[in-house]
Amino acid sequence: MPREGVLVHRIYERLSKDQMERIHNASMEILTRPGIMCYNKEAADIFSSFGAKVNALPSSGCWQVSIPEALVLGALETTPKVVKLGARSEENSLILDGSEPRVYFASGSETNIWLDMRVESFVSKSDGSVEIKLATFHPRRGMLADLCAAARLGEHLDNLDGFIRPVNIQDEDITEENKDVNKFFACLNNMTKHIMAGLTSLDKLDEVVRMAELIAGGKEELRRNPLISFITCVFKSPLQLVDDTTQKCIEITRRGVPLVISSSPQGGSTAPIKEDGMVAQINAEILGGITLSQLVSPGASVIYGSVPTRAGLDDLADTYGVPEFNNYNIDCVQMARFYGLPCYSTAGVADVKVPGIQATVERLFSQIVIALCGAQYIHYAFGLLDKTATFCPVQAVVDDAHIGMVKSLLRAPKVDEVEVAASLEQIRQVMTTPNKLFVRYIRPKLRSGEVTLPYPFEGDKVTDDVFIRAHERMQELLKRPVEHIPPETSERIFREVPGLLPRLNTYREG
Amino acid sequence: MTDDIIEQIKQNVIQGRMDKEDEGFDGGMVGQPGVKELVQQALDMGTDPRRMVTEGLTEAMSIVGERFEAKDYFIPDMLASAETVGEAMDILAPHLAKSGMATKGKVIMATVKGDLHDIGKNIVSIILKGAGYEVNDMGADVTPERIVAIVTEEKPDFIGLSALLTTTMMAMKETIESLAEAGLRDKVKVIIGGAPTSAEFAAEIGADGYGADAFQAVRVVEELKQRS
Ligand code: B1M
CA distances from A334 to A81, A199, A304 (A): 14, 28, 11
Residues B129 and B208 placed together within one structural domain of the fold: yes
Per-residue pLDDT at A151: 98
Nearest residue in B to A167, CA atom: B166
Which chain A residues are closer than 8 Å to B116 by Cβ?
236, 242, 244
**CB–CB contact A242 B119 (8 Å):** no
Nearest residue in B to A176, CA atom: B167
Q: Is the pLDDT of residue A145 over 70?
A: yes
Residues A303 and A440 placed together within one structural domain of the fold: no
Residues A159 and A210 placed together within one structural domain of the fold: yes
Helix axis angle, A41-49 to A243-255, nearest 10°: 60
pLDDT in tens, A120-136: 999 999 999 999 999 99
Mutate to test the pocket of ligand 1, among B164, B166, B213, B224 (most ligand atoms within 8 A of CB): B164
Per-residue pLDDT at B1: 61
* Inter-residue contact A305 to A90 (CB < 8 Å): no
Residues A26 and A89 placed together within one structural domain of the fold: no
Per-residue pLDDT at A365: 93
Residues A397 and A319 placed together within one structural domain of the fold: yes
CA distances from A434 to A328, A423, B106 (A): 55, 19, 89
- Domain end (from A448, A468, A499): A448
- Domain end (from A76, A95, A125): A76
Q: For the ranges A438-447, B4-13, B154-163, which has the lowest average pLDDT?
A: A438-447
Q: Which of B116, B166, B213 is closest, CB to CB, to A315?
A: B213
* Inter-residue contact A209 to A497 (CB < 8 Å): no
Nearest residue in B to A389, CA atom: B195
CATH number at residue B37: 1.10.1240.10
Instruction: Provide the 10 A C-beta neighbour count for residue A140.
Output: 12
Residues B28 and B55 placed together within one structural domain of the fold: yes
| Mean pLDDT, rounded, of chain B | 92
Q: Which domain holds residue A429?
A: 417-448
Per-residue pLDDT at A446: 87
Q: Is the pLDDT of residue A208 over 70?
A: yes
| Mean pLDDT, rounded, of chain A | 96
pLDDT in tens, A42-58: 999 999 999 999 999 99
Q: Which domain holds residue B142?
A: 106-227
Q: How many Å lie between the centroid of ligand 1 and the Cα of residue B182?
A: 30
Q: How far apart are CA B174 and CA B181, in angstroms?
A: 10
Q: Is the pLDDT of residue A235 over 60?
A: yes
CATH number at residue B182: 3.40.50.280
C-alpha A22, offset from chain centre: 28
Question: Percent of chain A scored above 90 by pLDDT?
Answer: 93
* Inter-residue contact A108 to A379 (CB < 8 Å): yes
Residues A213 and A112 placed together within one structural domain of the fold: yes
* Inter-residue contact A293 to A249 (CB < 8 Å): yes
Per-residue pLDDT at A462: 83
Which chain A residues are closer than 8 Å to B213 by Cβ?
315
Residues A40 and A177 placed together within one structural domain of the fold: no
Q: A200: which DSSP letter? A: S
Tally of structural domains, chain B: 2
Per-residue pLDDT at B24: 80
Which chain A residues are closer than 8 Å to B195 by Cβ?
112, 389
Which chain A residues are closer than 8 Å to B76 by Cβ?
268, 311, 313, 316
List A7's β-bridge partners, or say none: A102
Residues B120 and B194 placed together within one structural domain of the fold: yes
pLDDT in tens, A396-449: 999 999 999 999 999 999 999 999 999 999 999 999 988 999 998 998 888 888
Chain A residues contacting B, CB < 8 Å? 112, 168, 170, 176, 179, 200, 236, 242, 244, 266, 268-270, 311-316, 389
- Domain end (from B78, B99, B120): B99
Residues A405 and A424 placed together within one structural domain of the fold: no
Would the CB of B162 count as within 6 Å of ligand 1? yes
Tally of structural domains, chain A: 3
Per-residue pLDDT at A315: 85
Per-residue pLDDT at B167: 87
Question: Percent of chain B scored above 70 by pLDDT?
Answer: 100
- Domain end (from B46, B73, B99): B99
Is the residue at A454 inside a domain?
no
Q: Parallel, antiparallel, or unpaired: how do β-strands A343-346 and A94-97 relate?
A: unpaired
Which chain A residues are closer than 8 Å to B167 by Cβ?
176, 179, 200
Residues A163 and A50 placed together within one structural domain of the fold: no
**CB–CB contact A269 B119 (8 Å):** yes
**CB–CB contact A266 B76 (8 Å):** no
Q: Is the pLDDT of residue B102 over 70?
A: yes
CA distances from A277 to A15, A25, A271, A399, A437 (A): 14, 12, 7, 32, 56
Is the residue at A156 inside a domain?
yes
Q: Is the pLDDT of residue A510 over 70?
A: no
Q: How many Å lie between the centroid of ligand 1 and the Cα of residue B160?
A: 16
The SS3 of residue A113 is strand
Protein residue with least CA distance to atom 22, ligand 1: B120
Would the CB of A327 count as within 6 Å of ligand 1? no
Residues A246 and A301 placed together within one structural domain of the fold: yes
Query: What would you report as the CA-atom Rg of chain B, rounded to the nearest whole angstrom?
Result: 19
Q: Measuring CA to CA, which residue among A149, A199, A147, A138 is closest to residue A170?
A: A147
Mutate to test the pocket of ligand 1, among A114, A362, A388 (most ligand atoms within 8 A of CB): A388
Nearest CA to CA, how far is B39 from chain A (Å)?
A: 27
Q: How many Å lie between the centroid of ligand 1 and the Cα of residue B121?
A: 10
Residues B20 and B84 placed together within one structural domain of the fold: yes
Q: Is the pLDDT of residue B103 over 90?
A: no
Residues B82 and B145 placed together within one structural domain of the fold: no
- Domain end (from A359, A384, A410): A410
In which band, very low, low, confident or very high, does the pLDDT at B29 lie, cut at 50, 70 and 90?
confident
Residues A277 and A303 placed together within one structural domain of the fold: yes
Would the CB of B120 count as within 6 Å of ligand 1? yes
Average pLDDT over every residue of A200-222? 97
Q: How far apart are CA B174 and CA B178, in angstroms?
A: 6
DSSP helix, strand, coil percent of chain A (3-state; round to 5): 45, 20, 35
Q: How far apart are CA A107 and CA A102, in angstroms?
A: 17
Nearest CA to CA, how far is B74 from chain A (Å)?
A: 5
pLDDT in tens, B44-89: 999 999 899 889 998 998 899 899 888 889 988 988 999 999 899 8
Average pLDDT over every residue of A369-380? 97
In which band, very low, low, confident or very high, does the pLDDT at A509 lie, cut at 50, 70 and 90?
low
Higher pLDDT, B107 or A453: B107
Per-residue pLDDT at B201: 96
Residues A328 and A382 placed together within one structural domain of the fold: yes
